[in-house]
Amino acid sequence: MSLALKLAYRNLMGAKLRTWLNVFVLSLSFVVIIWQKGILNGWDQQARRDTINWEIGGGQYWQGDYDPYDPFALEGSHARLSVATERAIAEGKLTPILISQATMYPEGRIQNILLKGIDPNQKIIELPSWELISENGDIPAMIGKRNAKNNHLKMGDYVTIRWRDANGTFDAVEVKIVHIFKSNVATLDMGVLWIPLQKHQKMMQMDGEATILVTDQKIGFGGSIVGWEFKDHYLLLTEIREMIEMKSVGGYVFFVILMSLAMLAIFDTQVLSIFRRQKEIGTHIALGMTQKQVIVLFTVEGAAHSVLAAILAGIYGFPLLAYQASVGWAMPGSTDDFGMTIAETIFPAYSIGLVLGTTLIVLITTTIVSYLPTRRISKMKPTDAIRGKIQ
Amino acid sequence: MNNSALIHITDLVKTFPMGKREFTALKDINLSFSAGEFSGIVGPSGSGKTTLLNIIGTLDVPTKGDARVIGRSVSDLNSKDAADLRNKHLGFIFQTYNLLQVYTVFENVELPLLLLKIPSEKRREMVLQSLEWVGLTDKIKSRPAQLSGGECQRVSIARAMVKSPQIVLADEPTANLDAKNSHTILQTMENLNRELNTTFIFATHDEKVIQYLRRKISLEDGQVVRDETIKG
Ligand SMILES: Nc1ncnc2c1ncn2[C@@H]1O[C@H](COP(=O)(O)OP(=O)(O)O)[C@@H](O)[C@H]1O
Ligand SMILES: [Mg+2]
């Protein structure tokens, strides 16, 4: 094997241009897959972190009937909090959020929104609820910047909202936009209006009630609450996971295309060189190599492309990827509107496993592709091969 | 029967399939070669010289009969043993030199020693010695493309001789060379034969080669028609 490596090295270095062309294409697939996986990893990590910090904390309890995908169920999905729950809230382990449907009339247009009541004093999620602490009689409201942009709302604006309370009675009031927050978590922002919990409860005739309870990441809660279901991170982050998985597929397709290109080039090189180098193969055999040894030599030679590619990818890819990791990748502004949890700048996250895994895949694929054409060698008659007779 | 013979061929027949029929390339060959011979298989093109040399070189097997090379029957050798035998005891010189184009002169000559797993210090010594025999020590770093035909054939002689094999098989070694170069390489091989007692077997129809031979085996249509020893 070490002999094969030595000879393969000599042959590759002698072949120059063709070798380097193949190696370059292969190195590109290396860099591209690692880069794009790194971006997705970075996005995934950021999205999870933001979602946890801003929205779901250490997990949520949902009132039994609550279903975020069914707005019609909202009317019934709220419940009074038990004494024990109230105590946990007071201890900072939980914070309640009441969710109801409403209509907003910005500039005379009609807009369906979710009204979310939150305790202005909560410290469990990063949503700046303290902005809703107010002294005067106005109902303070807070929206995200996507929502503000879509509805042309500014700080200090008043906007009319209309809702139906627990008794089915319609009512309307003007709220004052006291703060516009900026969050990567789109679900906190798009179509949501935040108001103080107690005001919300009063408006709805639902004193002491809530729809969900967010647990603190550090303290946690742990117990079970009758009539409420605990939703853990795995469940609450499903959407992010699925989105990243979907994006990954696109990336794999690209990787597979690039790899196929490289593999085709190497396969072609192998077939051609086995054909062109028949005389060389015959000579090796005459000098005392077995056909098997020649096959190993050619396979190693082909597979060595991937080793060189890994080295080359390291040479130009490493600084490129490291630079990207430090400055991040700026997302185009419009991604805000996709409703995905995404930061303005994604910092790619590369892992050793990613690099090693990619290297292994490329190495194995290259070896297989290099080996396949060499089976011709075992069918060759050495006496014909020496003369370079075309078979 | 000569038991001290290095190569012993008895009742050898070689046929090749030709469509549905068979073509007999060698017929009833009986020959022996001893250590230190400087002999040639001589005959017109197509008479079976290369076929015979290939069988002696364990690259092909007889259809009938037997060829024993250094005590081993070539028909019985598996591919690994045959490779081993070639590696240790046989040197090949080809009409078209068959040098590896991407290797330097040094690397070309070194190759058989790599296969023999000889350590690098020793390898270097042996390669330089061999290149000295053929007078090419100043071309170590050149590649075959930079050499003349005569120089290429000298490299190939160095490659065949580097492991001091017992037998060197040279198939039409002068066919691509001019008279001056032909004589140079023949003199080189003659010297090596005398100094190292290496057995040389040529396949040739070149008069320039024939005049150096000490034994001339004439082949016609796959049959030995004459086997003459020429006194020096
Ligand atoms: N592999 C082969 N298949 C079929 N016929 C062959 C093969 N090798 C050699 N021959 C035939 O055997 C005869 C002898 O060939 P060869 O030994 O090459 O002759 P020489 O070397 O004397 O010119 C030729 O007629 C040639 O066509
Ligand atoms: Mg011939």
- Out of A280, A286, A288, the one facing B100 most closely (by C-beta) is A280
**Is it the case that residue A333 has pLDDT exceeding 70?**
no
Query: What pLDDT sits at residue A337?
Result: 55
Percent of chain A at pLDDT above 90? 46
**Is it the case that residue B232 has pLDDT exceeding 70?**
no
Contact residues of A toward B, CB < 8 A: 3, 6-7, 10-11, 13-15, 279-280, 282-283, 285-293, 381-383, 386, 388
pLDDT-based confidence at residue B1 (cuts at 50, 70, 90): very low
**Is it the case that residue A327 has pLDDT exceeding 90?**
no
Nearest Cα neighbor of A199 from A146, A128, A129 is: A129
Domain count, chain A: 2
For residue A89, the Cα-to-chain-centroid distance in whole angstroms is 33
State how far residue A390 is from chain B, nearest Cα, in angstroms. Answer: 16
State how far residue B59 is from chain A, nearest Cα, in angstroms. Answer: 6
Let me know whether A259 and A337 are in one domain.
yes
Average pLDDT over residues A94-98: 95
Nearest CA owner, ligand 1 atom 24 = B46
Q: Which residues, judged by CB distance below 6 Å to any ligand atom, belong to the binding site of ligand 1?
A: B 16, 23, 25, 43, 45-51, 203
Let me know whether A368 and A304 are in one domain.
yes
**Is it the case that residue B2 has pLDDT exceeding 60?**
no
Nearest CA owner, ligand 1 atom 2 = B16
Let me know whether A269 and A378 are in one domain.
yes
Let me know whether A354 and A215 are in one domain.
no
Let me know whether A247 and A282 are in one domain.
yes
d(CA B16, CA B22): 6
CB contact under 8 A, B59 and A11: no
Let me know whether A292 and A372 are in one domain.
yes
Percent of chain B at pLDDT above 90? 94
Backbone angles phi, psi at A187, to 5 degrees: -70, -15
Provide the residue type at B186 as one letter.
L
CB A259 within 8 A of CB A29: yes
Ligand 1 site-directed mutation target among B13, B20, B22, B23, most atoms within 8 Å of CB: B23
Higher-pLDDT residue of B43 and B2 is: B43
CB contact under 8 A, B83 and A386: no
Let me know whether A80 and A163 are in one domain.
yes
Let me know whether A279 and A354 are in one domain.
yes
Average pLDDT over residues B172-197: 94
State how far residue B43 is from chain A, nearest Cα, in angstroms. Answer: 19
Nearest CA owner, ligand 1 atom 5 = B16
Listed ranges A6-10, A317-321, B100-104, B137-141; the one with the highest mean pLDDT:
B137-141
Let me know whether A191 and A279 are in one domain.
no
Average pLDDT over residues A273-284: 88
**Final residue of a structural domain among A231, A256, A289:** A231
Query: What pLDDT sits at residue A204?
Result: 93
Its sign, for the CA torsion A79, A83, A89, A93, is negative
Closest ligand by atom to B218 CA: 1
ipTM of the complex, rounded to two decimals: 0.94
Mean pLDDT estimate for chain A: 88
All residues of chain B having their beta carbon less than 8 Å from the beta carbon of residue A287 are: 86-87, 92, 111-112, 115, 159
Q: Which atom of ligand 1 is nearest to the CA of B48?
A: 17
Let me know whether A28 and A121 are in one domain.
no
Percent of chain A at pLDDT above 70? 96
Provide the token pair at A384. 């014909």
CA–CA–CA angle A156, A194, A183 (5° rounding): 90
d(CA B165, CA B126): 13
Let me know whether A382 and A256 are in one domain.
yes
Average pLDDT over residues A152-177: 93
Ligand 1 site-directed mutation target among B15, B29, B50, most atoms within 8 Å of CB: B50
Query: What pLDDT sits at residue A285?
Result: 94
CB B75 within 8 A of CB B67: yes
Provide the residue type at A259 as one letter.
M
Average pLDDT over residues B35-60: 96
All residues of chain B having their beta carbon less than 8 Å from the beta carbon of residue A285 are: 59, 83, 86
**Final residue of a structural domain among A179, A198, A231:** A231
Domains, chain B? 37-45+80-229 (3.40.50.300)
Nearest Cα neighbor of A112 from A158, A77, A147, A145 is: A147
Range of the domain at A128: 60-231
Its sign, for the CA torsion A12, A16, A18, A19, is positive
Provide the token pair at A19. 């070798």
Provide the token pair at A34. 């690692």
pLDDT single digits (tens) A342-363: 777 888 888 888 889 888 988 9
Q: How many CB atoms lie within 10 A of CB A164?
A: 15
Higher-pLDDT residue of A104 and A108 is: A104
Let me know whether A89 and A225 are in one domain.
yes
Provide the token pair at B56. 């002696």
**Final residue of a structural domain among A190, A215, A231:** A231
For the packed helices A352-379 and A291-312, what is the interaxial angle rounded to 10 degrees?
150
